[in-house]
Amino acid sequence: MSTIIALVLLAAVLGFAVARPRGLPEAVAAVPAALLCITLGLVSFTEAVHEVRELLPTVLFLAAVLVLAYLAEKHGVFEYAGAAVARFGRGRPKRLLTAVFAAAALTTAVLSLDATVVLLTPVVLTVAARAGVRPRPHVYACTHLANSASLLLPVSNLTNLLAFAASGLNFAGFAALMAVPWLAVVAVEYVIFRFFFARDLVGQAEAPPPPGPAPKYALAVLAATLAGFAALQPFGVDPAWVAAAGAIGLAIPLLRRRAVGAGTLLAEANPAFCAFVLALGVVVLAVRSNGLGDWIDGLVPRHADLLGLLAVAGLAAILANLLNNLPATLVLLPAAAHSPGLLMAVLIGVNVGPNLTYVGSLATLLWRRILHARDAAPRTSEFLLLGLATVPVCLVAAVVALWAGLRVGGI
């Protein structure tokens, strides 16, 4: 009975998050559901507090990265990136696609997938349209790489942050393990995009003017923050502090010029989202500790051999498409926490998998189909086809690269 209640609560939280009635934040359903889990005794109060305290540093880290990305935009980093992409593209669609891939993969890796989806995509559309090329492949590249290029660093995706906290790896170790899978995925996506959109990548437009001056200060702060993540962790400095320091470094000149206010920064840290993640953690804990945990642990292979890694990545990709990748990560992490290899395979699944249903999960896809029944609908079939063409190959390529890395590294 308690299993059913926990599952109903999880379904309600996810359903609300997908439907977003009246545009209310997702936390509106998630926080009461978490409290209900405690009241009904599905999780004890101490367990819930323990879960929240485990997740809190990760969530604060995420908030710092969200603010960092927002401030980078205010400093003109994305505008500059767009101009540099246009310059490299020289009005040729294929060169432009190459540049967009580089920009999207780097933005996702350093400033998280949110930055690519929200901040880079509109810039790329403008660049492609101004260059006079058909923008479809370039915009789709952004939406795809936001997911699949989020393997490299712990900051690239919230799923990575969650696994990073559970893995016991350090920042540099995580990046070293994921570098080759990341490159493999980006390379596979690139080759498939070139074929898939071959007929859109034609024509020639005029070369754009050179980009304006680079936002040197912001780029320097971002580079220092990135170096600080890896360099300071051996000295016991948590990466979350480095991210916060980077955000403060970017904020100071803007606050002085009154270009941003403290209230805006707080809003950009998205406290409602942070509350949602913490509450979701408690609800997922209730689902796991009421019978489903053992069942899921039984599904996850014990050993990080090639077949085991492939199976975990596949399972994670399926769950990510059924539930969305955030709950899928929370559900699978404890089952894979005993092995860094399996954890990384979970990440490959939950990060690359969502491209199959480009809106993150089947539920979101169906909901959007209903919403868009009357007005302009996204070309769902085209996205699904692109997902089918890329996701399985990317998953296998990344897992094989991870497996080779594990063998070489002796982990």
Partner 1 sequence: MNVLVWVREGVWPAAVDAARELAGVDDAVTLVHVVDPAIAAGAQGAYAGLLGRGGWSPRGRTDPGAAVTAAETGAEEALMAAAGERLGRDAAPVFRRGRVEREVVEACAGMDLLVVARDGDVRRAGPKSLGPASRYVVDHAPCRVLLVWP
With contact defined as beta carbons under 8 Å apart, do 89 and 99 qualify? yes
Q: Please pick, from the candidates 370, 376, 408, 410, the single residue that binds partner 1 as defined by CB under 8 A.
A: 376
> How many Å apart are CA 31 and CA 26, to the nearest integer?
9
DSSP 75: T
Q: How far is the CB of 195 from partner 1 (least distance, A)?
A: 13
Q: Considering only the stretches 101-109, 224-232, 375-383, 396-404, report the one whose residues sit in contact with partner 1 under the rule CB under 8 A.
A: 375-383
Interaction pattern, residues 20-59, with partner 1; x per rule: CB under 8 A: x--x-xxx--------------------------------
User: Is residue 113 close enough to count as binding partner 1 by CB under 8 A?
Assistant: yes
User: Is residue 359 close enough to count as binding partner 1 by CB under 8 A?
Assistant: yes
Residue in this structure with the two tokens 């997902």, named with its chain if needed: 387
How many chain residues bind partner 1 (CB under 8 A)? 64
Q: Please pick, from the candidates 181, 246, 360, 405, the single residue that binds partner 1 as defined by CB under 8 A.
A: 360
CA angle 338, 344, 345 (to 5 degrees): 100
Q: Please pick, from the candidates 271, 291, 302, 366, the single residue that binds partner 1 as defined by CB under 8 A.
A: 271
Q: Please pick, from the candidates 99, 276, 344, 397, the single residue that binds partner 1 as defined by CB under 8 A.
A: 276
Q: Please pick, from the candidates 107, 143, 225, 390, the single residue that binds partner 1 as defined by CB under 8 A.
A: 143
Closest CA to 127 of 82, 95, 84: 82
| Long-range Cβ contact pairs of 45-49 (< 8 A, separation 24 or more) | 47/285, 47/289, 48/282, 48/285
With contact defined as beta carbons under 8 Å apart, do 356 and 386 qualify? no
User: Is residue 79 close enough to count as binding partner 1 by CB under 8 A?
Assistant: no
Residues 290-349 that bind partner 1 (CB under 8 A): 324-327
> How many Å apart are CA 148 and CA 67, to the nearest integer?
22
Instruction: Rank residues 289 and 325 by Cβ distance to partner 1 and give the closer one.
Output: 325
- For 118, residues 6+ apart whose C-beta sits below 8 A from its C-beta are none
Residue 103 burial by CB count (10 A; 0-12/13-18/19+): exposed, middle or buried? buried
Q: Considering only the stretches 3-11, 224-232, 336-344, 359-367, report the one whose residues sit in contact with partner 1 under the rule CB under 8 A.
A: 359-367
Structural Rg of the chain based on CA atoms: 21
User: Is residue 122 close enough to count as binding partner 1 by CB under 8 A?
Assistant: yes
User: Is residue 374 close enough to count as binding partner 1 by CB under 8 A?
Assistant: no
With contact defined as beta carbons under 8 Å apart, do 42 and 282 qualify? no
Q: By CB under 8 A, name the binding residues for partner 1.
A: 14, 17-18, 20, 23, 25-27, 93, 113-114, 117-118, 121-122, 125-126, 129-130, 132-136, 139-140, 142-143, 146, 199-200, 202-205, 263-264, 267-268, 270-273, 276-277, 280, 324-327, 354, 358-361, 364, 368, 372, 376-379, 382-383
